[in-house]
Structure 1
Amino acid sequence: MGWNIVIADDEAPAREELVYLLEQCEDVDKVTPASSGMDAIKKVKEQAPDVLFLDMDMPDLNGLQVAEIVGEINPQVKVVFSTAYDQYAVHAFKLRAFHYMLKPYDEEDIAIVFRELRKVRMQNGSGVLVHPSTGMTSIKLALELDEGITYVSPKDIMYISKELKHVQVHLRDKAYSVSYTLSELEQKLEPFGFFRCHKSYLVNLASIAEMKTWVNGAYNLLMDDARRSCIPVSRNYVKLLRLKLEI
């Protein structure tokens, strides 16, 4: 089932650009534009969308006001805020925003949103993945090695890396080469606080010790393992990573 989406932005060029980007996504069925806060509420009532892309700064009702009203009308709608200003982020997430994009956004920003949406849909549909908050602390990741199967608790994994075709699961003082793909591990471990920060790296958010600026808007992460491993963060992932890490 494809995604049904409503976009609310009072600026026509920004609205049309977002419509175009979303229509390039193969699993999007319908995109309905709205030109104001009140229009957004009307379209949500009419269309019952899965996702609402919502501009913060609109002349009649701002994004926070619209999100609050939409939450009462249809609490199942995933709200993705889009704005040129990052000072609204804290308020947005208090309203249980699904995601937050800073303008100008591009294809990678959209890809990140849909990667998260697909995970949620898959988890809700399958019931396979279990979040640690359930108290099921015995859940472990099975690593098939030459000598047999090793079971590793997600909390003991610092990060996962990929070099060429080889994927390694790194603990505090050792690493295992595994047959999983990085995408498979991302799917299995995301509910346990893991984050894809780079095309070749998946990190345990709880094991990040420092975040250091690098070049061209990118960062490096220093991990809390025995070697203080340095992990690159792609520029496109920095905003989302900070939102996930910081109070």
Structure 2
Amino acid sequence: MKALLLDDEILVLNNLKFLLKNFPQIEIIYESTSAAEVVSWIKENEADVLFIDISMPDINGIDLAEYASGIRPKLKIVFITAYDNYALEAFRANTVDYLLKPITLPKLTKTIKKLENYMGDYGSDIIRKSESQKLTPKIQGYVEDKCYIISSREGIFIKAEPRRIVLVSAKGEYLLKNPMTYWEELLKRHHWFRCHRGYLINLDKVVSTYPLFNQTYGVQMQGSKEEVIVSRSYIPEFKRLFSL
């Protein structure tokens, strides 16, 4: 994995570099204490993961991460901060983990494992891209008699309604012909998660989450105003996925 590092504190940056030497699967290809330099670098270059401080003098790290994800949609984000009150907001971006300072080897080891699980370990960037393209499932959605082929990455969530299954995407809603169990099995290895008997969500589209009554959670999804529910039985795994 090609890593990009940004922290305005040189001591923190050097500590992170030192700890990352324990992981041969991580290749540091660029590092900086300047957010402006990283913005310029990202415009011209690609990386697999960005380790970024949230609190910096010239820009908020969350805003920069969202900007970077907009330019490089496949870029994964690991936030580094001394404050734990940013955790939920940080998951607006394409976030894999949230590390609290001081960074230690045990903490970083857990983060690297999450990155490997999230991205898949295909050995090289070229192979990873080709495998990702080949394995990305397509969803056959219907509007009246017309069939649309939708990439699973474009879907926001799938919901079960009385007598029908519906895919919700930014472009509209589509009827699906297979049951929820079929879509759960097809998509679970592609960062989709069954959070309720009536909902299957694209984890990349999660904007925010918040507790509701009866020990359930609500989820706001990017591109939709509908509140998605995480039922009690799915909450432990949901929290694990987002390090909540």
TM-score, length-scaled by structure 2: 0.52
Q: Which moved more, 1:35-44 or 1:77-86?
A: 35-44
> Which residue in the other structure is 2:71 paired with?
73
- TM-align CA RMSD: 3.7
Quick one: structure 1 residues 111 and 136, their matched pair in 2 at CA, closer, same or farther if it must change by over 3 Å? Answer: farther
Q: Residue 111 of structure 2 corresponds to which residue in structure 1?
A: 113
Task: Quote the offset at 1:19 in angstroms.
Answer: 1.0
Equivalent in 156, 176, 181 of residue 137 of structure 1: 181
Distance in 1, Cα, partners of 2:76 & 2:136? 22
The code of the aligned residue for 1:106 comes to: T
Shift of the 128–13 alpha-carbon distance from structure 1 to 2, 3 Å rule, reads same
- Report the equivalent of 2:10: 12
Q: 1:111-190 counterparts in 2 under 5 A?
A: 111-122=109-120, 125=132, 127=135, 137=181
Q: In the superposition, relative to structure 1, how do residues 128 and 75 fare at CA in structure 2: closer, same or farther (>3 Å)?
A: closer
For normalisation by structure 1, the TM-score amounts to 0.52
Amino acid at match of 1:98: V
Q: Does 1:95 align with 2:139?
A: no
Alignment equivalent of 2:59, drawn from 58, 61, 84: 61
SS at match of 1:79: strand
Counterpart in the other structure of 1:84 = 82
User: Does the 8 Å contact 1:53/1:79 carry over to 2?
Assistant: yes
Residue deviations 1:185-211 (CA, integer Å, cap 9, x gap) = xx98x96679xxxxxxxxxxxxxx99x
Q: Which has the higher contact order (CA 8 A, sep 6+)?
A: 2
- Quick check: 1:40–1:66 contact (8 Å CA) kept in 2? no
Unpaired runs of 5+ residues, structure 1, are 142-186, 195-208, 211-222, 225-239
Compared CA separation, residues 16 and 46, structure 1 to 2 (3 A): farther
- Partner SS for 1:43: helix
The CA deviation at 1:86 is 1.0
Alpha-carbon offset, residue 77 of structure 1: 0.8
Tell me how far apart the structure 2 counterparts of residues 50 and 25 of structure 1 sit (CA, whole Å). 15
Any stretches of 5+ residues in structure 2 without a counterpart?
A: 122-130, 138-151, 159-166, 168-178, 196-213, 216-231, 234-238
Provide the aligned length of Structure 1 versus Structure 2. Answer: 158
Indicate how the Cα distance of structure 1 residues 106 and 62 shifts in structure 2: closer, same or farther if over 3 A, else same. Answer: same
Deviation at 1:32, TM superposition (A): 1.8
* 1:44 has 2:88 as partner: no
Distance of 1:46 and 1:14 partners within structure 2: 26
Q: Deviations over 1:48-78 (max 9, x none)?
A: 1110001011111120221122122212111
Q: Distance in 2 between matches of 1:65 and 1:139?
A: 33
